[in-house]
Structure 1
C-alpha cells in the first residue's frame, strides 16, 4: 500500500500526462487530414497555413503568461480553465462551415492548450523533486512525443474509415473525450492552488513584451506568400522588442522586483543551450512528418490509411526507446542526447537515400523502416534533454521556465512548418510526378538533417558548459537526489 502522499503524486502525474496527450495529439492528428479539409472547406494556401500553424502561434503566445499566472496565483484554476476552453473551441472547430470559423477556433484552442501545458510543467516541478522530478518530466516528454507521433496514424485511419468529408471533422473531435476525462480528473486529483512566486504580482509589462517578441518571430512564417512586405516589417520589429524586453527586465530587477525572466534562466548556459536543442529537434521532427505525409499522399498517391501505416513505426519506436532512455542515460550520462541526435541525422539522410533509390512498389515499406529509426532517435533525445533543461530551475520560476521552453519549441514549429514544406513544394513539380516529388522530398530531408546537425553541435557546447561529467552525479537529473519523493518509479 503506497503512502497517501505517494498516491496523490501519482494521481497528479497521471492528470498531467492526460493533459499532454490531449493537447498535443490534437495538432498532430490534423496534419494528415489537411488535404481533405482543404478541399471540403474550399480553403486557400493562406487559410491552411493559419489553420495548421496558427495553433502553434497561439500555443506559444499563451505559455509564458500562463506560466507566470500559475506561479503567482496557483496552477489548478488555470489548468481547469484551459482544458474547458480547449474542449469548447475544439467542438466549434469540428463543426465549422468555413475557413474563418476554423481559424478562429484553432487560435482559441491553441491558446488554451498553451495555458494548460504551462501549468503542467510547473505542477510537475512543484510536486516532484530530485530523481523523481527527472522521471516525471521524462514521462511527460515521452507521452507528448508518442502522442505527436501517433497523430498521423490515427488521423489517417479516421479519414479512411469515415471518408474525406467527415474524417477531418472527427480528427478535430478526437481529443474531446480525452479533454473531458482530463477535466474531471484534474478537478479531483490536482493539488489545491498555491503560490510559488515570491511576489504575487505578475510582471505584466514583461509578459506583454514577451508575447510581442513571440508574435514578431512567428507571424512572418505563417502569413500568406503575397504579404512579403508586411512579413519584413514584422521581422524587423523583433530585435527592437527583444532589446526592450531585456532593458525592462534589468530595470525591474534593479528596482528590487522579481522579473519575468528569472536570473537563473538568463545566465544558465545548460538551460539556454538545451532550449535551443529542443527547438531544432522539435521543428525538424514536425516538419519532416508533415513533408512525409504530403509526399506519400500527393507524390506517391497513397491513401490516408496507407500513409498512416507508414508513419506508425515512428510512434512505436519512440515509445520503446523512450522507456529505455533512462537506462542509456545512467550508462553514458549527458552523451545520450548527442547519441539520439546523431541517430536522427542518420535517419533523415537515410530517408533521402531511400526515396531516391528504392522502387515505387517497395518504397512505403522502406519509408516505414526509416520512420522506425526516426522514432528511436526521438525517444533517446526528447525526454533526457527536457529533463536536463529544467532540472536546476528554481521553484519560483518553474512555470515561466517551462513556458519559455515550450514557447521556444512552438516558435521552431511555426518556422519549420512553413519553411521546410516550402522547400518541398517549390522543388516538386505541379502536379507532382514520381521523380520530381522524390527529389523534393530528399532535399527537404537534408534540410531536416541540417537542423539536427545544429542541435548536435549545441549539445556538444552544452556538454562543455556542464564540464563534461563522465557520469551522473548526486545532483544530476538522473542521480538519486536527496529528496527523491514522492516516488514515480512504479508507475
Structure 2
C-alpha cells in the first residue's frame, strides 16, 4: 500500500518513483555494455571514463541549481522539461557514431537527470508529511536501488541477444519508454507549480562557485593530470573555490539574504554525516558494479549473459531486503544502516578472497553469492539512511537539501568510478593468464570495502550526534515560556 492521504498524493509518488527508476536505470544498464561499446566505437580509456563518469559529473552539477530553481519557481515545469531533454539526449547517445557525440549526449542527459531528481526529492517533501514522508522517501530510494541493481542483468541480456555491435545502443535506449511514460504521467498527475522558498532571488554567484568547485574536484579523477604539478594546481583550485564559496555563503547570511545552501543544513551534524555515509556507500556500490563487469568480461572472458546472471542476485536481494528493512528499523532504529554497511564490507571482502583463492569453475558461483549478500546489504543501508538524512531538511529548503545529498553521491560516484577502475586497470596491465586480473580485482575490491568501512564509521558518528536529540512530537504540548523561547531559537528542522 502506497503512503499518502488520498489518491492524488499516491499518484504523485508513482510519478516520482518512475522518474527515479528511469534515470538510475540508464546509468546502471550502461556499465555492462562498456566493453562492447568501447570496441564498437574504438574509444580510448579516457573516452570511456568520460562516457561513464561524465553522466555523474553533469548529474551532480545540475542537482543544487535544479533544487534551488524548484524551490523558487515551482517544480512541475522543471520536471517536465528535464524528462524531455533526458529522453532526447538518450536517443542522441544511442545513435552516436563516435566517442565525442556519445560523451556530449551523456553530459546533457546527466544534467537533465539531475534537474529531474532534484524536483523529485522536493516534491516528495512538499506532498508528504510525518511517517508518510519517511515511507515515500524509502520507496523512492528502494525503486532507484532496485533499478540500479537490475541494470547489469538487463544490459547483459540485450548485449547477448542483439550482439555487441547493436546491444550497447539498445542499452542506451532502454530508458526511453520509461521516460515517455513518466512524461505523460507527470503532465497529468503532478501538482501545479508553487514556490516554497521565502526569498525569490537566486544566489547566482553561489551557484557559479558551487558548480566550479564540483567541476574542479571531479575532472582530475575523470581525466588524470599529466604531472604532479598539474595535480597540485587542481587541488589548489578546489581549495580556493571552496573557501570562496563558504565565505560568500556567510556574507549572505549576515546580510539577511538566503544563501544557496540553507544554514539549517550546514548546522545539522546528522544531515552532514548522513550525507557523507551516502557518498561512501553510493560511490563504493557504483564502482564495484563496474569493476565486476570489467573483470568478468575482460579479465575472465565470460559472456555478457553470464555476467548478467552473476549480477542478478544482487538485484533480487536488494529488492527483498529493502522491503524488509523498515521492519528492522522499527526494532533497532538507525542501527539498521550500520548492519547493512557491515554486511556490505564482509561481502565485498569475500569477493576479493574468492577472486584470489577460488578455482576457475567455482569462481562465478562464489561471486554470485557475494553479489547476493551485497544486494541485501544495500537494501538495508540505502533507504533508511536517505530517510534519516532528509528528515533534517526544512520545508523551505527541501529541494536544495535533496539536491545536495544526490550531488554528493554523484561526486562520489564519479570519483570512485575513475579511481577504482584506474586501480584495476593499472594492476591488471602487463600480466598473462587470469592471475593478474584476479589479483587486480581483489585489490580494487578492497578499496571498495574500505569505502564501506569508512561509511560504517561515519554512520556510528551520525548515530552518536543524533542520539541526544530525541525526536519531538509533531504537535508538542505547551510548556514553560522559557522552554518555548529556547525551542524557537533552534534550527527549522527541529521545530
- TM-score normalized with structure 1 length: 0.94
Cα displacement (A) at 1:122: 0.4
Shift of the 36–354 alpha-carbon distance from structure 1 to 2, 3 Å rule, reads same
Tell whether the 8 Å contact from 1:206 to 1:248 is kept in structure 2 after alignment.
Answer: yes
1:22-61 equivalence runs, <5 A: 22-61=22-61
Cα displacement (A) at 1:184: 0.3
> How far, CA to CA, are the matches of 1:287 and 1:370 in structure 2?
15
* Map of 2:380 onto structure 1: 380
Tell whether the 8 Å contact from 2:2 to 2:10 is kept in structure 1 after alignment.
Answer: no
Are residue 244 (structure 1) and residue 244 (structure 2) matched?
yes
Shift of the 186–230 alpha-carbon distance from structure 1 to 2, 3 Å rule, reads farther
Cα displacement (A) at 1:224: 4.6
* Map of 1:391 onto structure 2: 391
* Map of 1:346 onto structure 2: 346
Shift of the 263–180 alpha-carbon distance from structure 1 to 2, 3 Å rule, reads same
> How far, CA to CA, are the matches of 2:432 and 2:63 in structure 1?
39
Deviations 1:117-165 (A, max 9, x none): 0000000000001111110000000111111111111111000000011
> How far, CA to CA, are the matches of 2:42 and 2:248 in structure 1?
45
Shift of the 3–389 alpha-carbon distance from structure 1 to 2, 3 Å rule, reads closer
Cα displacement (A) at 1:106: 0.5
Deviations 1:425-472 (A, max 9, x none): 111144652111111111111111111111111111111101268xx8
Tell whether the 8 Å contact from 1:318 to 1:376 is kept in structure 2 after alignment.
Answer: yes
* Map of 1:303 onto structure 2: 303
> How far, CA to CA, are the matches of 1:271 and 1:5 in structure 2?
27
What is the aligned length? 476
> How far, CA to CA, are the matches of 2:316 and 2:284 in structure 1?
19
- For structure 1, list consecutive stretches of 5 or more residues without a partner in the other structure: 476-480, 484-491
1:11-22 equivalence runs, <5 A: 11-22=11-22
Tell whether the 8 Å contact from 2:325 to 2:384 is kept in structure 1 after alignment.
Answer: yes
Cα displacement (A) at 1:230: 4.2
1:240-279 equivalence runs, <5 A: 240-279=240-279
Cα displacement (A) at 1:253: 1.1
Range moving further from structure 2, 156-165 or 424-433: 424-433
Tell whether the 8 Å contact from 1:156 to 1:304 is kept in structure 2 after alignment.
Answer: yes
Are residue 89 (structure 1) and residue 63 (structure 2) matched?
no
Tell whether the 8 Å contact from 1:72 to 1:196 is kept in structure 2 after alignment.
Answer: yes
Cα displacement (A) at 1:172: 0.4
Tell whether the 8 Å contact from 2:54 to 2:110 is kept in structure 1 after alignment.
Answer: yes
The 3-state SS of whatever aligns with 1:365 is: helix
Shift of the 3–205 alpha-carbon distance from structure 1 to 2, 3 Å rule, reads closer
Deviations 1:98-131 (A, max 9, x none): 1111111000000000000000000000000111
Shift of the 346–129 alpha-carbon distance from structure 1 to 2, 3 Å rule, reads same
> How far, CA to CA, are the matches of 1:229 and 1:303 in structure 2?
42
1:210-221 equivalence runs, <5 A: 210-221=210-221
Cα displacement (A) at 1:233: 2.3
Shift of the 468–363 alpha-carbon distance from structure 1 to 2, 3 Å rule, reads farther
Which ranges of 4 or more aligned residues in structure 1 deviate by more than 2 Å?
1-5, 224-235, 429-433, 472-475
Tell whether the 8 Å contact from 1:298 to 1:432 is kept in structure 2 after alignment.
Answer: no
* Map of 1:489 onto structure 2: none
- RMSD of Structure 2 on Structure 1 (CA): 1.8
Range moving further from structure 2, 43-52 or 4-13: 4-13
